[in-house]
């Protein structure tokens, strides 16, 4: 049997600079509107390749989202 070759994954390049570095502010768990924009419709935290957030702020963003979920400011699962 021949092995089936995988197609290379498509990369989405975001050329915009990090919005947090530009605005000189940090991700905050109280800013729900911004956090919801950076999560998918399924409630997952989007990656830095899709949002354009730098590595440092992506780590802080994920912590802020997790903290907001723990404090019941954001849902863990999407609402119907």
Condensed to tens digits (0 to 9), the pLDDT of residues 18-65 reads 889 999 999 999 999 999 999 998 989 999 888 889 999 999 999 999
CB-CB contact of 7 with 45 (8 Å): no
Domain 19-70, second-level architecture: Irregular (4.10)
pLDDT score, position 14 = 58
User: Residue 15 pLDDT > 80, yes or no?
Assistant: no
pLDDT band at 12 (very low <50, low <70, confident <90, very high): low
pLDDT score, position 56 = 94
CB-CB contact of 68 with 32 (8 Å): yes
Residues in the chain: 80
Q: How far apart are CA 38 and CA 15, in angstroms?
A: 17
Burial of 34 from C-beta contacts in 10 A (0-12 / 13-18 / 19+): middle
């Amino acid at each position: 049997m021949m092995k089936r070759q995988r197609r290379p994954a498509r990369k989405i390049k975001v050329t915009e600079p990090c919005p947090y570095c530009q605005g000189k502010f940090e991700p905050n768990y109280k800013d729900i509107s911004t956090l919801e924009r950076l999560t998918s419709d399924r409630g997952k935290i989007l990656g830095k390749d899709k949002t354009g957030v730098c590595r440092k702020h992506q780590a802080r963003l994920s912590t802020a989202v997790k903290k907001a979920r723990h404090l019941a400011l954001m849902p863990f699962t999407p609402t119907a």
